[in-house]
Amino acid sequence: MNLKYLIFGILLLSLGFVYAETMPYWIEDYGNGYNLWVKIPYIPANGDTVVYIEKDSNYKPDGDKVFEFFDDFDGNELDRSKWEIVGEYSMHNGKIKLNPNWVGGYKSGMIETKKLFGKNIIIYSKIDSHTSYIRYGFGEADDNFQRNYRFYKYDDGGPRWWGFRIDGDWYKEGYGYDVDRLEYSQLTIGNDFVELKDNNVRYRVNHELPSVKLPVHFTSWSCSDVTLDYVYVRKYADKEPTTTISKINDNLYKITIHNPNSYPLKDFQVKIPNPSFITSKFEGLKITDKNPQPTQLSDTSSTPTQPAHKKPTLKISTTPEGADIYIDNKYIGKTPITIELEKGKHKIELKKDGYKPNIQDITLNDDMFLNVVLTEDISKYLAIAVVLILGVVIGGYAINKRKDDKKKKEVMDELEDLLKK
């Protein structure tokens, strides 16, 4: 039993919720509109999480806090704390050009992340422009591209050069020459597959991948250059979460995020596509799991003067899972669970063997998500320790007493019996 973990669990329990006050976000300008990316702390398996988005100029988009890795190449210098550089590049107007001086000889430009990545990730590059003759590659690879890599190469040099390169194997799946205009390229690296997706095609190769961590590379070479607008690396799930937007008023929106997977998603990057309330990639937004106006009815209601009859939803999750739930002294089931309750005050009791009971009084006016870190019950360890100590003391006393009282003849008899055996 580690005391520091016990103290940490008690502190988390006193906070009650795992959500921070606000959730980080980033706004993607894809040319014809905007996507909103939000890092959601927790979405239960086959369940929903509700967040509220309020326009607030005190908050700013921050891709570094949302994604596993992010760079929008803002400024005139490459962030050397993020990247290793191999070859030539140039930067201008928040973009990076790889291999800008290719005319007149064989040259190359490559950037490599200092951070290492494993499997179950998605690597994305937004491409601003490229030469009509394209040679561009991206993905995970070791420094020398000798053994460990999960990579894709576009190459107008012909089918000999393009395709997937996966841990020593070469797959001529996809396409690489006579490439149409690339707007973006995305590489998904799962447990047993690698998939390429861009604005033209989508190809997948099934391949069992070893558990090795590698840097991510973006490169252009020979008679080609590629200009990138931004890149990011995010987590992968078998099914992407879906989102539903409900307008509360002109300044406040409710977002219901559904996880269709049979496992929970933690610190997951969720895309909210084309939200109408986003008008700039610099929009200030405050995103929380609490409704700033819990009594406010949606202006989409057909009868706004009448009270809403829908019961609020209470979602309860615990770490660890499988705790017994009692609501108002009535057994409900085990965590995680989602139920509808009447508005008002309720007593929530969570019990699990080996952990201290958690009792909370809540007031439910709107949908609520309760995620509790249970505190391990150390009383059983104390009881075991007391029993062991008493056993040692009593046993030692009995042995010594027996030695003092035993007659010499009895001792000799026992020794004689042992010799016979």
Q: Which helix (H) or strand (E) holds 247?
A: strand 242-249
Residue 295 pLDDT level (bands cut at 50, 70, 90): very low
Claim to verify: residue 74 and residue 178 sit in the same structural domain: yes
Q: Is the pLDDT of residue 373 over 90?
A: no
Residue 7 pLDDT level (bands cut at 50, 70, 90): low
Quote the pLDDT of residue 14: 44
Residue 399 pLDDT level (bands cut at 50, 70, 90): very low
Query: Rg for the chain (alpha carbons), in Å?
Result: 31
Claim to verify: residue 212 and residue 358 sit in the same structural domain: no
Contacts of 240 by beta carbon, 8 Å cutoff, 6+ apart: 271
Rounded to 5°, the CA angle 276-279-282 comes to 130
Quote the pLDDT of residue 12: 46
Comparing 57-66, 145-154, 248-257, 280-289, the range with the smallest average pLDDT is: 145-154
When mean pLDDT is compared over 4-18, 129-143, 250-264, 293-307, the highest value belongs to: 250-264
SS3 per-residue string spanning 57-87:
CCCCCCHHHHCCEEECCCCCCCCCCCEEEEE
Half-sphere exposure for 14 (CA within 13 Å, toward CB): 6
Query: Residue 214 and residue 118: Cα distance in Å, rounded?
Result: 6
Are β-strands 368-373 and 313-319 bridged in parallel, bridged antiparallel, or unpaired?
A: parallel
Share of the chain above pLDDT 90, in %: 43
Number of residues that make up the chain: 421
List, for residues 185-243, the tens digit of each pLDDT value: 999 999 999 999 998 888 899 988 888 899 999 999 888 899 999 999 999 999 999 99
Comparing 81-85, 114-118, 150-154, 264-268, the range with the smallest average pLDDT is: 150-154
Q: Which of 259, 234, 255 is nearest to 120 (CA)?
A: 234
Question: Is residue 59 within 8 Å of 99, Cβ to Cβ?
Answer: no
When mean pLDDT is compared over 65-74, 172-181, 288-297, the highest value belongs to: 65-74
Token readout for 265 is: 């998603």
Please check whether residue 1 lies inside any domain of the structure: no
Please check whether residue 278 lies inside any domain of the structure: yes
Q: Is the pLDDT of residue 417 over 80?
A: no
Claim to verify: residue 103 and residue 251 sit in the same structural domain: yes
Please check whether residue 149 lies inside any domain of the structure: yes
List, for residues 116-174, the tens digit of each pLDDT value: 999 999 999 999 999 888 889 899 987 655 556 788 888 876 666 677 888 777 776 55
Quote the pLDDT of residue 398: 47
Question: Is residue 208 within 8 Å of 168, Cβ to Cβ?
Answer: no
Please check whether residue 129 lies inside any domain of the structure: yes
Query: Residue 47 and residue 105: Cα distance in Å, rounded?
Result: 56
Claim to verify: residue 330 and residue 281 sit in the same structural domain: no
Q: Is the pLDDT of residue 361 over 80?
A: yes
Respond yes or no on whether the N-terminal peptide bond of residue 264 is cis (omega within 30° of 0).
Answer: no
| Residue where a domain stops, chosen among 300, 325, 360 | 300
More confident call, 13 vs 160 = 160
Claim to verify: residue 290 and residue 333 sit in the same structural domain: no
Please check whether residue 410 lies inside any domain of the structure: yes
List, for residues 94-123, the tens digit of each pLDDT value: 999 998 887 766 678 889 999 999 999 999
Query: Residue 196 and residue 120: Cα distance in Å, rounded?
Result: 14
Quote the pLDDT of residue 268: 97
Question: Is residue 28 within 8 Å of 35, Cβ to Cβ?
Answer: yes
Please check whether residue 411 lies inside any domain of the structure: yes
Q: Is the pLDDT of residue 314 over 60?
A: yes
Claim to verify: residue 201 and residue 53 sit in the same structural domain: yes
Query: Residue 174 and residue 83: Cα distance in Å, rounded?
Result: 29
Claim to verify: residue 175 and residue 96 sit in the same structural domain: yes
Percent composition of the chain: helix, strand, coil (DSSP 3-state, to 5): 15, 45, 45
Share of the chain above pLDDT 70, in %: 75
DSSP 168: T
Token readout for 18 is: 């795992």
Please check whether residue 4 lies inside any domain of the structure: no
Contacts of 141 by beta carbon, 8 Å cutoff, 6+ apart: 148, 149, 150, 151, 214, 215, 217
Please check whether residue 50 lies inside any domain of the structure: yes
Average pLDDT of every residue of the chain: 81
Q: Which domain holds residue 359?
A: 313-373
Claim to verify: residue 368 and residue 388 sit in the same structural domain: no
Question: What's the CATH number where 366 sits?
Answer: 2.60.40.1120
Query: Residue 81 and residue 63: Cα distance in Å, rounded?
Result: 16
Claim to verify: residue 147 and residue 92 sit in the same structural domain: yes
Q: Is the pLDDT of residue 296 over 50?
A: no
Q: Which of 288, 237, 290 is nearest to 265 (CA)?
A: 237
Claim to verify: residue 134 and residue 247 sit in the same structural domain: yes
Q: Which of 100, 76, 77 is nearest to 88 (CA)?
A: 100
Claim to verify: residue 167 and residue 243 sit in the same structural domain: yes
Comparing 36-50, 108-122, 295-309, 372-386, the range with the smallest average pLDDT is: 295-309
Quote the pLDDT of residue 232: 98
Both ends of the chain: CA-CA distance in Å?
45
| Residue where a domain stops, chosen among 274, 300, 326 | 300
> Beta partners for 216?
140
Quote the pLDDT of residue 308: 44
Quote the pLDDT of residue 322: 86
Q: Is the pLDDT of residue 2 over 70?
A: no
Q: How many domains does the chain have?
A: 3
Claim to verify: residue 326 and residue 207 sit in the same structural domain: no
Half-sphere exposure for 246 (CA within 13 Å, toward CB): 15
Region of residue 279 (phi > 0: left; psi between -120 and 50: alpha; otherwise: beta): alpha
Query: Residue 309 and residue 342: Cα distance in Å, rounded?
Result: 10
Residue 396 pLDDT level (bands cut at 50, 70, 90): low
Question: What's the CATH number where 291 sits?
Answer: 2.60.120.200
| Residue where a domain stops, chosen among 300, 326, 352 | 300
Q: Could you tell me the pTM of the whole model?
A: 0.66
